[in-house]
Amino acid sequence: MKGGAPGAGFAGPGASRGESPLKLDVLDRLEKAIGRLADGTAPLEQLVAAHEEALKLLDEAEAELKALRAKAEELTGSIGA
């Protein structure tokens, strides 16, 4: 990928609101792992490791998304009450 991974260095919309950098770090690490897979020039062992890392990071991102959706539902429910 020319110029780095897409979104690399992007602080994200929540960064100015003091959200944890860990949340953004997971996405950044996932993009890098996917970039290593897309390149395809690394030895097989490194590609397998990047794939395993990407799967782990995807699970983390999905868990975070689920938690954020639950929080949003909680907040919208309290507004309508």
pLDDT in tens, 22-58: 577 888 888 888 888 888 888 999 999 999 999 998 8
Q: Does 45 or 16 have the greater pLDDT score? A: 45
**35 domain residue, yes or no:** yes
**70 domain residue, yes or no:** yes
Tell me: pLDDT of 67 over 80: yes
The per-residue pLDDT for 15 is: 44
**61 domain residue, yes or no:** yes
**4 domain residue, yes or no:** no
Q: Does 17 or 2 have the greater pLDDT score? A: 17
Work out how many domains the chain is built from and give that number.
1
**38 domain residue, yes or no:** yes
**8 domain residue, yes or no:** no
Question: What does the DSSP assignment read for 28-73?
Answer: HHHHHHHHHHHH--S-HHHHHHHHHHHHHHHHHHHHHHHHHHHHHH
Q: Please give the torsion angle defined by the CA atoms of residues 59, 62, 68 and 71, in that order, rounded to the nearest 10 degrees.
A: -80
**37 domain residue, yes or no:** yes
The per-residue pLDDT for 27 is: 82
**47 domain residue, yes or no:** yes
Identify the domain containing residue 25 by its residue range: 18-80
